Structure 1
């Protein structure tokens, strides 16, 4: 009874008592929370009372409160502050939690109660939100296998348990490869690197307890190294290590894991009567079918490939002018693209980066949220899970809305990438609760005493993840099941990608892009050159992304491949992948697809959402003000506060009045073709 995870959290804003939680607390907390959840579910399923919405659906909403609370703390820490003990427990928990989920969603008595409600839904007097929640609960149970016979349910449960084990292993292997690789850099190895990259390499060495300078596989360090290092041999070594994650041939090799995951996903879909896993996965999404996804991707692929090939010819000529013969390689692209950007747009990353300090970019994101939605942010002095993490109270008109946590710096204990998650989601049912939302990034940590500087891409990432956070913090629904980001996967990226647009608003840059040392605003000429180059190298960026999305789709729209690496090569050859560009995420480190089901057969969703975000920002342009109050109010009412209370198409149409075409996306990426079909 002294386990802090199982006690009421009575501190400020009922935050988890991080300072009191130890790794040894998690296993008994999960055991107790699972037992409580099982008892609650059994009581609902075995009730002698006829099913009604309150005693079945609303009871299920609250049945796993303790488990949800413990899980939120554990899995957020497992991603952002991993320890060997947490990794071991994660491996142990994966099949247990999957088994419990199957017990609930394939409980025959429980499903019978939901079916009874579904059959009588028109007579229950449900409001619109309740009707939507009932529909989603029934869909979840059916898609989980509740309607299968006993043998089918047993096999489905076994498949899900195995998938949980494999996804956990994939994630931990990738983290291990990223954590274990480092390349010491001698003084001569720093050739061509600007001061901010040298400082980041020094900080990386310090973080690993070493002196001098060190290159790691943190994206915010390895990408600028590839941009600026004049040592082609070192660029090749670094790039080879970066793309070889999960493909070492040793204990952390993910290729066999990916193969088994794909086979099990196909079996899962076939058990439910679908032709393929893609058909199963896409059915509840906006895209609906694999054909619709492929159509969008290929309409973007052709103009992107043409632009990339034209750019490759220019970069190859630049390389040859440097006396290097042969083909442009993947480890050359960023280096010569950076040189070309300096030549054509007079943009020097070393000159630009001091204007994008982490502190001022956080301030900019907060200010945009204040102007759009009336939010205020007050720093909190509270204990969190790591010294680098910071917290703010979010209010509107003096009323508490949320707690926002920012955890921005890379470290060896943190998985790569950037993401938004919650320690608590919003709901009104039962004891109403406001959310605790966290943004986790992997920006290069500066040397002690130096300001933290972001690249333009880093700054966009910060705005992107804060857009997700706004979706969670502004949620205003009754049921946690549809709260915040609980929406279709190809709709969830709309708020995040839309918020990126405010970083490009000139008045935002004029106010917040200030030199980290002098405080002087970014010169207007430099700002204008930056914005004019907003579509620079978009052929490269679009090709590497779309190639990954097409490989993901190909993995799932037919029979599971016996050799995913062979299929990956076949897909890339079939679309004519340019020689000097690789997939953004090759199969062995494609965490979006294999570290869980979230983006499996769904990596396309960033682009599907981009069709909408490009059009959505046009609404503000049409209003003549990037901060137009009426447009912002419509955005909040119909999208940011609505969660999954309606189908994504209906939410977007309520905001914009129609669904968009693909033209704004192509225009925004500088890829507008002469003739484009009318609708996306």
Structure 2
């Protein structure tokens, strides 16, 4: 593997050596890497020879290696271990990176060379060389390379401002979430919680200043899992309201001013590029292609979902009234509580019964890894000698069935104040044949860590999240592409979630389930009757999960279908959310959006603007892939190998619909069995 010329200290496998990297190393490393990247691009531009694939497209692909290395490591910390020094460095680095990106994107001489190769050599090129040339040309055009000088200058300004705003968002939202702690005075108020959960509340209070003996910490989504257990209705209300209003209340933690400015700038960006709005501009590069296709897909789901959601809500409220009296009115903070009680009564099962069988270490090693072994022939060996950025992390070598080293995989499972909410996958280094680089992949989640010496027990939802994020990891680790730009998860936004959503299906396959669902203390497998009830419970009252996703999806699209003149003010933003949901028939106090506008990180801080629909879109793809696996043999090595060769290893080297067809044999996705697949 190529070793970096400077930048950061790396281990022989290409892994960053966190034992030697100091937080103060990143800024000078960025300065050097940016300088080198600038020189590499200038050298391409200065070349007097006729532009060719080799001296232009390939030369560009070879540039920026050091900047990639530094960026990949640094931005892992920005998301997962954002100390004050990292936050301060980010403030300095983001304008530098945006300026460099503007320089390259709007370099007319460079684009002329790329366009010449695209116009004159594309038909002669084959395979990845052709795909790389197409992708590079399109990326310049989509960035505004064909704009007039005046519009190009405005696009540069927009890019810089959005980068600043997203950086502010990345600091403000975690601070707002951390500030939304619900302080609890006594253990009695926490009635209904397990001893382990109460211990976590005590620990959370201590780590956040200890203003009261106990504290409940808000996590990622609108609904909070803890609401299913809390007996105290007033405390449930406080938790729910803290979650809903974490970032739209006090002036200090209100994200709406950032939201509306980002939305307006994106709308203007779409208009500069000749589109009516940002969504139309963004969707052009997806599988869906345009807004009409997305909305037709969503409207079909909404029509099928709505009566099921209404019936589900009525059933929960009727159940609650039997206990609380006919005057009882179900509130959104009651829903999880009475649904859990209803499930316990109807199926005779609760989270507390099954959690002892979901020890996180067993789920990862005996579940997630075991499934990858059975399906793809992979083997995992823990490395205790490779330093990490936090002591909670674990590192594994990933070997192919023939013993060949394929990748390194890092797991960072537990929540902490320096980590943003949610769960994700990314890479310290992407796979690249040209760079002779093996993939170095990591997964991050936000689970409450058990006290020292005790096993960390997780819920079924958290189990499936581990399988989900590892689906992304497999997409990165099994990549077999020549070019970094095309490798791993560098696919259309409405395809990238398919491997991860599909990988969730292995969690409940009997052979896999039995291998990891073992009691944390006794090691005994889950009893057959409990297992049967548990697997039945997976599909219990699933309308909510679909509804919260539909609502968030439609919010994202509503914001990004506005023209720059239609964007509401910060004071109008909350009302815009309500009206947008009413307009499409999804306003339901009982089923709020999975993410409300003010804390919708995927959209305002991440890369899912006008693209959150992709979770549902790819869920349909995953349903179709799962059906194909059933047809060909779920755990047959031939089936896993076919999926690996035709999809997971291909990155963005081929049209993703063609990949889907290559494996499933289907010309287009089929949503007819989707609601059944979702337990509805």
Q: What TM bracket, shorter-length normalisation?
A: over 0.9
TM-score normalized with structure 2 length? 0.95
Counterpart of 1:428 in structure 2 is: 433
The yes-or-no answer on 1:116 pairing with 2:116 is yes
> Deviation string for 1:520-559 (max 9, x for gaps)?
1011111111222222121111111101101111111232
Counterpart of 2:316 in structure 1 is: 315
> Deviation string for 1:370-406 (max 9, x for gaps)?
1111111100012110001110001112211100000
- Secondary structure of the corresponding residue to residue 167 of structure 1: helix
Compared CA separation, residues 131 and 84, structure 1 to 2 (3 A)? same
Question: How far is 1:14 from its partner?
Answer: 2.1
Number of aligned pairs? 664
> Deviation string for 1:581-622 (max 9, x for gaps)?
2111000100010004x1000000011101110110111211
Counterpart of 1:412 in structure 2 is: 417
Conservation of the 8 A alpha-carbon contact between 2:377 and 2:637: no
Query: Mind listing any 5+ residue stretches in structure 1 that lack a counterpart?
Result: 672-680
For 1:43-192, list aligned pairs within 5 A. 43-122=43-122, 125-185=124-184, 186-192=186-192
Give distance in 1, aligned partners of 2:29 and 2:554.
42
The yes-or-no answer on 1:453 pairing with 2:452 is no
Question: How far is 1:241 from its partner?
Answer: 0.9
The yes-or-no answer on 1:442 pairing with 2:446 is yes
Counterpart of 1:676 in structure 2 is: none
Conservation of the 8 A alpha-carbon contact between 2:9 and 2:20: no
Counterpart of 2:575 in structure 1 is: 566
Question: How far is 1:270 from its partner?
Answer: 0.8
The yes-or-no answer on 1:587 pairing with 2:597 is yes
- Aligned Cα root-mean-square deviation (Å): 1.8
Query: Mind listing any 5+ residue stretches in structure 2 that lack a counterpart?
Result: none
For 1:154-233, list aligned pairs within 5 A. 154-185=153-184, 186-208=186-208, 210=210, 212-219=213-220, 223-233=224-234
Give distance in 2, aligned partners of 1:267 and 1:484.
31
Q: 1:508 aligns with which of 503, 506, 512?
A: 512
Conservation of the 8 A alpha-carbon contact between 2:9 and 2:21: no
Question: How far is 1:12 from its partner?
Answer: 4.1
Conservation of the 8 A alpha-carbon contact between 1:218 and 1:410: no
The yes-or-no answer on 1:340 pairing with 2:338 is no
Conservation of the 8 A alpha-carbon contact between 1:220 and 1:442: no
Question: How far is 1:627 from its partner?
Answer: 0.8
Conservation of the 8 A alpha-carbon contact between 1:215 and 1:222: no
Give distance in 2, aligned partners of 1:88 and 1:279.
35
Give distance in 2, aligned partners of 1:177 and 1:589.
9
Question: How far is 1:566 from its partner?
Answer: 2.5
Q: 2:665 aligns with which of 653, 657, 674?
A: 657
Question: How far is 1:221 from its partner?
Answer: 13
Conservation of the 8 A alpha-carbon contact between 2:11 and 2:17: yes
> Deviation string for 1:310-343 (max 9, x for gaps)?
1111221232233363431111111011011111
Q: Which moved more, 1:522-531 or 1:111-120?
A: 522-531
- Secondary structure of the corresponding residue to residue 322 of structure 1: helix
Counterpart of 1:328 in structure 2 is: 330
Q: 2:375 aligns with which of 365, 372, 377?
A: 372
Counterpart of 1:238 in structure 2 is: 239
- Secondary structure of the corresponding residue to residue 19 of structure 2: helix
Question: How far is 1:206 from its partner?
Answer: 4.8
Question: How far is 1:275 from its partner?
Answer: 1.6
Give distance in 2, aligned partners of 1:452 and 1:80.
20
Counterpart of 1:356 in structure 2 is: 358
Question: How far is 1:653 from its partner?
Answer: 0.7
The yes-or-no answer on 1:643 pairing with 2:667 is no
Give distance in 1, aligned partners of 2:578 and 2:563.
16
Give distance in 1, aligned partners of 2:298 and 2:94.
34
> Deviation string for 1:265-313 (max 9, x for gaps)?
0110111111211111000100111111111111111222211211111
Question: How far is 1:490 from its partner?
Answer: 0.3
Give distance in 2, aligned partners of 1:541 and 1:218.
17
For 1:483-632, list aligned pairs within 5 A. 483-560=487-564, 561-562=567-568, 563-574=572-583, 575-596=585-606, 598-623=607-632, 625-632=633-640
Give distance in 2, aligned partners of 1:502 and 1:206.
38
Conservation of the 8 A alpha-carbon contact between 1:5 and 1:25: no
Question: How far is 1:66 from its partner?
Answer: 1.1
Compared CA separation, residues 620 and 155, structure 1 to 2 (3 A)? same
- Secondary structure of the corresponding residue to residue 494 of structure 2: coil
- Secondary structure of the corresponding residue to residue 381 of structure 2: strand
Conservation of the 8 A alpha-carbon contact between 2:180 and 2:246: no
- Secondary structure of the corresponding residue to residue 426 of structure 1: coil
